[in-house]
Amino acid sequence: MSINFKELANKYQTPYYVYDFDHITKQYNELKSSFKARKSLVAYAVKANSNLSVIKHLANLGAGADCVSIGEVKRALKVGIPAYRIIFSGVGKIDSEIKEALTLGILMINVESDAELNRVEQIAKELDIVARISVRVNPNIDPKTHPYISTGLHENKFGVDIDTAKRMYIQCKNSDYLEPRGIHLHIGSQLTQLEPIKESVKIVSDLVKNLAAIKIELSFFDVGGGLGIIYDDEKLIDTNEYAQSILECLFGLDITVVCEPGRFLVGNSGVFVTKVLYEKVNGNKRFVIVDGAMNDLLRPSLYNAYHKVEVLNDNQEFNDCNLVGPVCESGDFFAKDVQLPKTQHDDLVAIYSAGAYCFTMASNYNTRGKVAEIAYEDGKDRLIRKRETFEDIIALEEEYIK
């Protein structure tokens, strides 16, 4: 990446996010081509980074969208992802969301419980629409990732067990308002081991074969997302091996493979750039305080997640410190016990791997406006989201002051 962070800081102020769109293209093409001639759909998990220009970029590449709220469905539609490439997932869909999703005619709804299936059936009946259904199966496999981003164990709230899934498909088959269309699993995020994916896909593909034997034929096999990226020194799953092991399990089935990557497509496209305000020493602990904070980039505070950080100056004198923001929480840090050079006011700090689950988790805590987002493509930068102003932050409250 040859982005000149300093130039962007002068042009757009700090903090900001910049996303390398060419990297997103490269990641998309790598994954898409690993499925080779097989019918496949790469449905981008919009929650990773839902900036409209990011989704648009993926739409142009031919991606579909995996959405976890009706708002995300509408974002995808707005930038031209066709309804037939949009999937609606999530453990707690609201009635109004189900209704709207059915009306919009998306590819399918990933249902996560029998109670939800009943709701969908009821709503479809009221609308006199046939709902295309995919059931999210929880294969009870440990994905060997961080417990907060593990989803494929029965102790997690996601999906249903095999027997429940089978019953739900039979209910679909017997209903005038439900059409069994696909099957879904998603065992976790930031996966770096292939084995748990293979095991899960095998379990779920066996169910697909069992269903076919009772004349329930599914058209889509959705393996979920979760492919990891390098934050630090992780060893990654090879996308060709990934695709190959999935296709092996599906041998003999006429079924389209769907995958729903979020982090893999956008995570390493993004850099969060912030500016040094001050250094201080408390006792013998050194702190470098920057203008970005946990409200802008929450992952270190939320998951103790590692992000590589780099001070963009030429100083060679490195010392241990905590890199922290101005928010009034001790949890407001980007890195702890990290070796950073001596800094000066206005030095820039780059926080890498910030394209996924960073801006989308941002809040206005401490009445801080959300920062600017910038796209970098073909050697050129452009603003894709304006920095929020004080007026933006208070806009929905102001008229109610008594």
Ligand X SMILES: *Cc1c(COP(=O)(O)O)cnc(C)c1O
Q: Which is nearer to ligand X, 159 or 325 (CB)?
A: 159
Q: Which is nearer to ligand X, 107 or 288 (CB)?
A: 107
* Residue 243 touches ligand X, criterion: CB under 6 A: no
Task: Find out whether 368 is annotated in a ligand binding site.
Answer: no
Q: Which is nearer to ligand X, 48 or 201 (CB)?
A: 48
15, amino acid identity: P
Q: Which is nearer to ligand X, 262 or 341 (CB)?
A: 262
Task: Find out whether 379 is annotated in a ligand binding site.
Answer: no
How big is the chain by its Cα radius of gyration, in Å? Answer: 23
Residue 257, strand partner residues:
40, 221
- The least CB distance from residue 48 to ligand X, in Å, is 5
Query: Hey, how many other C-beta atoms are within 10 angstroms of the C-beta on 176?
Result: 10
Q: Which stretch binds ligand X (CB under 6 A): 24-32, 56-64, 218-226, 384-392?
A: 218-226
- The least CB distance from residue 31 to ligand X, in Å, is 11
Interface with ligand X in residues 339-358 (CB under 6 A): 356
Q: Which is nearer to ligand X, 15 or 224 (CB)?
A: 224
116, 260, 296, 347: which one binds ligand X (CB under 6 A):
260
Q: Are 118 and 98 contacting, i.e. CB atoms less than 8 angstroms apart?
A: no
- In whole angstroms, give the CA distance from residue 105 to residue 73: 11
139, 152, 180, 225: which one binds ligand X (CB under 6 A):
225
Q: Are 296 and 333 contacting, i.e. CB atoms less than 8 angstroms apart?
A: no
Interface with ligand X in residues 189-208 (CB under 6 A): 189
- The least CB distance from residue 8 to ligand X, in Å, is 26
- The least CB distance from residue 383 to ligand X, in Å, is 25
* Residue 48 touches ligand X, criterion: CB under 6 A: yes
Q: Which is nearer to ligand X, 32 or 47 (CB)?
A: 47
Q: Which stretch binds ligand X (CB under 6 A): 173-181, 208-216, 222-230, 366-374?
A: 222-230
Q: Which stretch binds ligand X (CB under 6 A): 159-167, 257-265, 291-299, 378-386?
A: 257-265
* Residue 219 touches ligand X, criterion: CB under 6 A: no
Report CA torsion sign: 290, 292, 297, 303: positive
139, 182, 196, 261: which one binds ligand X (CB under 6 A):
261
- In whole angstroms, give the CA distance from residue 263 to residue 355: 8
Catalytic site residue 358?
Answer: no
* Residue 72 touches ligand X, criterion: CB under 6 A: no
- The least CB distance from residue 59 to ligand X, in Å, is 17
Task: Find out whether 180 is annotated in a ligand binding site.
Answer: no
* Residue 143 touches ligand X, criterion: CB under 6 A: no
* Residue 186 touches ligand X, criterion: CB under 6 A: yes
* Residue 264 touches ligand X, criterion: CB under 6 A: yes
Which residues define the annotated binding site for pyridoxal 5'-phosphate? Answer: 226, 260-263, 357
The catalytic site residues sit at 328
Query: Which residues are known binding-site members for substrate?
Result: 263, 299, 303, 329, 357
Residues within the interface to ligand X (CB under 6 A): 45, 47-48, 66, 68, 89, 186, 189, 224-227, 260-264, 356
